Amino acid sequence: MGKIIISENVSLDGVIQDPAGDEGFQRGGWVGRVGDRGREEAAQVLLEEALGTEAMLLGRRSYEFLAGRWPSRTGALADRLNSKPKYVVSSTLQDPAWSNTTVLKGNVVNEVSKLKQQLAGDIVVPASFQLVRTLIEHHLADELRLMIYPVVLGAGERLFGETSDKKPLRLISTRTVGNDLAYLTYQPVRDA
The one-digit pLDDT tens for each residue of the chain (192 residues) are 999 999 999 999 999 999 988 888 999 999 887 878 888 999 999 999 999 999 999 999 999 999 999 999 999 999 999 999 999 999 999 999 999 999 999 999 999 999 999 999 999 999 999 999 999 999 999 999 999 999 999 999 999 988 888 999 999 999 999 989 999 999 999 875
pLDDT (0 to 100) of residue 32: 81
Domain residue ranges of the chain, discontinuous segments joined by + = 3-188
pLDDT (0 to 100) of residue 192: 53
Note the pTM of the prediction, 2 decimals.
0.93
* Phi then psi dihedrals of residue 44, to 5 deg: -65, -40
Class of domain 3-188: alpha beta
pLDDT (0 to 100) of residue 38: 80
